[in-house]
Structure 1
Amino acid sequence: MSNDSSAPIIGTHNGHFHADEALAVFLLRLLPEYRNASLIRTRDPETLNTCTIVVDVGGVHDDSAKRYDHHQREFTATFPDHSTKLSSAGLVWMHYGKQIIHAVTGLDSSSSDCGLLYTKIYDDFVEAFDGNDNGIATYDPSALRKAGIDKKFNDKGFTIASIVNRYNYAPSAREGADGATANGTTTSGAPVPKDGKQQDEEDSRFLRASAFVGEQFSLELEDRANSWLPARAIVKQAFEERTQYDPKGRIMVIPYRSEGVPWADHLHSIESSSKTPQEQLVLYALFAENDRPDSKWRIRSVSLEPGSFENRKGLPEQWRGVRDEELSKVSGVPGCVFVHASGFIGGNVTFEGALEMAKKAVDM
């Protein structure tokens, strides 16, 4: 922790920490005014009053006072056009997200591109922190029980919140903090006192957790700014040109780009905003494996929704799990390479072959 009295101070609570304040602190430190801020973790009101900005503690949400707690009974704030109650992570993102995007990417905070990223990052990353910290499940648990739907496996170990929680307890996260060892004693064998070294040790673990969630955020923002955002114009053009491959527009061709074209999100968004009729939704997207003239081509089924493993229309059942010459015979299309056993993707040695596969598949 910095002791530079000239630096601003970020305050949050001590004790057991969660993913939301770990992210909130990291987000604040992306802003120029808090880049060199020190951090105080306490629940003492007088100490918190000395802080420049406070998150996840204090019982106050007041942007003008730079106080961002969400635990008070009367708190009901949500991100614009969303229903999930905010946590400290969502509060910081709602109030400072556009400034953070500008600080990291250089985008004008008032631009439409910044606005797109602001909402996209909340939707795909920050909102999950809010839901988790406020005990809001992705699906209504009672509705799932009534429908008789059970989990196929326990996914707790796969969530960012679960990983952050490990930093509260994992012995490896406690070692080396001001002489503390893995069993909670000093190097002399005496118990670590409740204040002083134990607080330093706890703060050290919090900073490790904050760095972890911060890295995930940074990867998300970098990908969305450098890949997802530029792809929007490419996908929009491909969508507008799709009827040259199928009269109903059910086949779309994605131009090759070395850094990739994350098209699925944009396609769903464009179809929704344009109110595309059900019978004209895109079923298959075609794209080259590389930029060489002899590149092989892929045919990809469009998912029911972004990230879903279900498809609008999988490739024909009789093609699935079949390869090469046998697949060409079964499909009647020369140059086939494969179709995945689940029917979500296939390949052909030429664009013409992949297009023919798609044309046959849309009506089968």
Structure 2
Amino acid sequence: MATEQASKRIKPNGFTPNGPLIGTHNGHFHADEALAVYLLRLLPTYNPSTLLRTRDPSLLATCHTVVDVGGEYDPRKNRYDHHQRTFDATFPSRPTKLSSAGLVYLHFGKPIIAQKSGFREDSEEVGILWNKLYAEFVEALDANDNGIGVYDPQDVKGVEKRFNDGGVSLGSLVGDLNWAFEEGEVPSTEGAQQAEDQRFLGASQLMGTIFLRKLDYYTKAWLPARTQVRETHAARFEWDDQGRIMLFQQGCPWKDHLYTIEAEDEVKEENKVLYVLYPESEKEESKWRIQAVAISKDSFESRKALPEAWRGVRDAELSAISGIDGSIFVHASGFIGGNATKEGSLSMARKAFTP
């Protein structure tokens, strides 16, 4: 068997000719251990490293690090399983029980982020990114593997989906890479184990690629925008005496930060931003957008959508109906519109308060 051959190359301290040995279980694999293995391999300690997929306790005992199998959680011994009945660890300030993905991220996430971002591991920036990536990505994997639903069943009793979303999730994408029913029973041969391992590595690459893309976005776009959004939010009374318009001189990812700032500053309802204005590009002659702020981060419903009479109307007809020159369009749902100039977009926002 492949595991037996691998064991002959393992040194007692858990290292092989190809670096430290990482152990996880063979058989049906999931998104959490797929990401956990990828995260470990981002670190210098585990690059290069050998992966051994087995449930044999004697082989797992020879591994330098074991994830998602073995019935033990002990960082001092590099053991990161979460299946034991006594396990109840969570990420700081989050309620979801960890899976192997969360465990590895909890212990190694900061050095990984520091390595990829260039910030010091003990910097405020790394701490912010560490918390953000867990809440926006890793936690969903922990919940999925532990059978925790997005909604509390008591809160959504009787709620039905408006459409079939296909059940597509990160967990399902990894699940699709496993041995399929129509392929028949998995043969218990060395070749079959190697083929299964290759499928797992494909799943690990998938999860790791998503993680790195999110880390890149939050490091290079989301985090720098935090200061810009706070400054723009503070200056909003320049455009409206109640502070309901926020105007950016260039586009940036503002949504997430806006809700955080409003909560931190305890902004009153009457002073919350209703419309955000920004240019479509950095060109001087750029057209401008006016976007209605959603009632919450994940909602499609606006705090105050653009006037119904404007919706679905374009160009000259829209300019005539709104009485604002340069109007280009308003989306049929009223969540966004456009004007040829900054002044025109400001006029649209101000008129939208009381059309």
Where structure 1 has 5 or more consecutive residues not aligned to the other structure, the ranges are 172-181, 185-190
Alpha-carbon distance in structure 1 between the residues aligned to 2:144 and 2:333: 32
Question: How much has 1:192 moved relative to structure 2?
Answer: 7.5
Residue 117 of structure 1 pairs with residue 129 of structure 2: yes
Q: 1:19-55 CA distances to partner (integer Å, 9 max, x unpaired)?
A: 1100111111111111211101111111111111111
Range moving further from structure 2, 96-105 or 302-311: 302-311
| SS state at 2:176 partner | helix
TM-score, with length taken from structure 2: 0.92
Question: How much has 1:359 moved relative to structure 2?
Answer: 0.9
TM-score, with length taken from structure 1: 0.90
| SS state at 1:144 partner | coil
**Corresponding residue number in structure 1 for 2:22:** 10
Q: 1:296-327 CA distances to partner (integer Å, 9 max, x unpaired)?
A: 10001111222321211111111110111111
Alpha-carbon distance in structure 2 between the residues aligned to 1:288 and 1:192: 56
Question: How much has 1:64 moved relative to structure 2?
Answer: 1.2
Q: 1:252 aligns with which of 227, 246, 257?
A: 246
**Corresponding residue number in structure 2 for 1:27:** 39
Q: 2:172 aligns with which of 150, 162, 181?
A: 162
Residue 324 of structure 1 pairs with residue 315 of structure 2: yes
Alpha-carbon distance in structure 2 between the residues aligned to 1:67 and 1:205: 24
For the 8 Å contact 1:156–1:162, the answer to whether it is kept is: no
**Corresponding residue number in structure 1 for 2:350:** 359
For the 8 Å contact 1:286–1:299, the answer to whether it is kept is: yes
What pairs with 1:74-93 in structure 2 (closer than 5 Å)? 74-93=86-105
| SS state at 2:338 partner | strand
**Corresponding residue number in structure 2 for 1:236:** 230
Question: How much has 1:167 moved relative to structure 2?
Answer: 0.5
Q: 2:191 aligns with which of 193, 197, 201?
A: 197
Q: Give aligned-pair identity as a percent.
A: 52
Q: 2:83 aligns with which of 54, 59, 71?
A: 71
Instruction: Note the aligned Cα RMSD (angstroms).
Output: 1.8
What pairs with 1:132-281 in structure 2 (closer than 5 Å)? 132-145=144-157, 148-170=158-180, 183=183, 193-256=187-250, 260-281=251-272
| SS state at 2:329 partner | strand
For the 8 Å contact 2:18–2:49, the answer to whether it is kept is: no
Where structure 2 has 5 or more consecutive residues not aligned to the other structure, the ranges are 10-15
| SS state at 1:57 partner | coil
Alpha-carbon distance in structure 2 between the residues aligned to 1:272 and 1:44: 51
Alpha-carbon distance in structure 2 between the residues aligned to 1:131 and 1:192: 28
Q: 1:166-220 CA distances to partner (integer Å, 9 max, x unpaired)?
A: 100359xxxxxxxxxx957xxxxxx975141111111111001111111111111
Alpha-carbon distance in structure 2 between the residues aligned to 1:29 and 1:195: 27
Question: How much has 1:6 moved relative to structure 2?
Answer: 5.6
**Corresponding residue number in structure 2 for 1:130:** 142
| SS state at 1:343 partner | coil
> What is the total number of aligned residue pairs between the two structures?
343
Question: How much has 1:12 moved relative to structure 2?
Answer: 0.7
For the 8 Å contact 1:250–1:362, the answer to whether it is kept is: no
